Amino acid sequence: MDKYKEKVGVDSFFLYFLLGFLIILPVSINEVKIVFFLVVIVIITVKSFFIKNYFYFDKEILLIHFSLVVVGVFFLLLGILNGFDTAWDQAIIYLIWPSIYLYIFSANRNRVFLDRLHLIICIATIFIGFYVTVYYLKTEVGIWPENLFIDLGLVTGIAAKSNDEVIQSRIYAISSMIFVVPYLISYICVRPFIRKTFILTVVAIFFSLIIVFLSGRRALLLNFLIATPMSLVFQLFLPPEIRKKSLIQNIRTSVIVLGLTIFFIGIFSLFGSINLTITLNNLVNSGDATAENNADRATQFEVLSYEWSSSPIFGHGLGATLNSYARNDDKPWMYELQYSQLLFATGIVGVILYFLSILWIYFNLIKIIASSNLEKSTKIVPILTGMTAFFIANASNPYLQAYGHLWIIFLPISIINQHRKTQIVADLEIPNYVKK
Closest Cα partner for 339 from 398, 288, 389, 268?
Answer: 398
Query: What is the reported pLDDT for 159?
Result: 59
Going by C-alpha positions, the residue among 189, 172, 184 that lies closest to residue 25 is 172
Number of domains in the chain: 1
Region of 315 on the Ramachandran plot (φ > 0 left; ψ -120 to 50 alpha; else beta): left
- In one letter, which amino acid is 115? D
Where do runs of H (alpha helix) occur along 143-217? 174-190, 195-215
> What is the Cα–Cα distance from 225 to 18, expressed in whole angstroms?
29
C-alpha dihedral sign at 218, 208, 128, 338:
negative
Q: Report d(CA 337, CA 347) in Å as an integer.
A: 15
**55 bridge partner residues:** 107
For 202, 264, 359, 409, the CA distances from 230, given in Å and listed in that order, are 19, 22, 17, 18
pLDDT at residue 109, rounded to an integer? 67
Range of the domain at 313: 2-435
pLDDT of residue 287: 44
**Cα gap 121→107, rounded to integer Å:** 20
In this structure, which amino acid lies at residue 51?
I
CA distances from 305 to 83, 207, 243, 382 (A): 20, 40, 43, 34
pLDDT for the residue numbered 270: 65
Tens-place pLDDT, residues 107-155: 866 678 888 999 999 999 999 999 988 888 887 777 888 877 787 778 8
**Phi, psi angles (nearest 5°) of residue 318:** -65, 145
Q: Is 291 left (phi over 0), alpha (psi -120 to 50) or beta?
A: beta
Asked if 308 contacts 337 with a C-beta cutoff of 8 angstroms, the reply is no
Characterise 8 by phi-psi region: left (phi > 0), alpha (psi -120 to 50), beta (else): beta
Q: Rounded to two decimals, what is the model's pTM?
A: 0.88
Question: Per-residue DSSP letters for 396-413?
Answer: SS-GGGSGGGTHHHHHHH
CA distance 166 to 150: 27
CB 242 within 8 A of CB 393: no
| The residue count for the chain | 436
For 141: left if phi > 0, alpha if psi spans -120 to 50, otherwise beta; the answer is alpha
Whether residue 337 contacts residue 297, with contact meaning beta carbons closer than 8 Å, is answered with yes
Residues of the chain short of pLDDT 50, as ranges, are 1, 4, 161-167, 287-290, 426-436
- Give the DSSP H/E element, type plus range, for residue 160: strand 160-162
- Kind and range of the H or E run holding 162: strand 160-162
Q: Cα-atom radius of gyration of the chain, to the nearest Å? A: 22
Q: What are phi and psi of 217, to 5 degrees?
A: -90, 125
Label residues 337-370 b or e (16+ Cβ within 10 Å = b).
bbbbbbbbbbbeebbebbeebeeebeebbbebbe
Nearest-angstrom CA–CA distance, 24 and 386: 16
DSSP code at position 50: T
Q: What are the tens digits of pLDDT across the range 72-100? A: 999 999 999 999 888 898 889 999 999 99
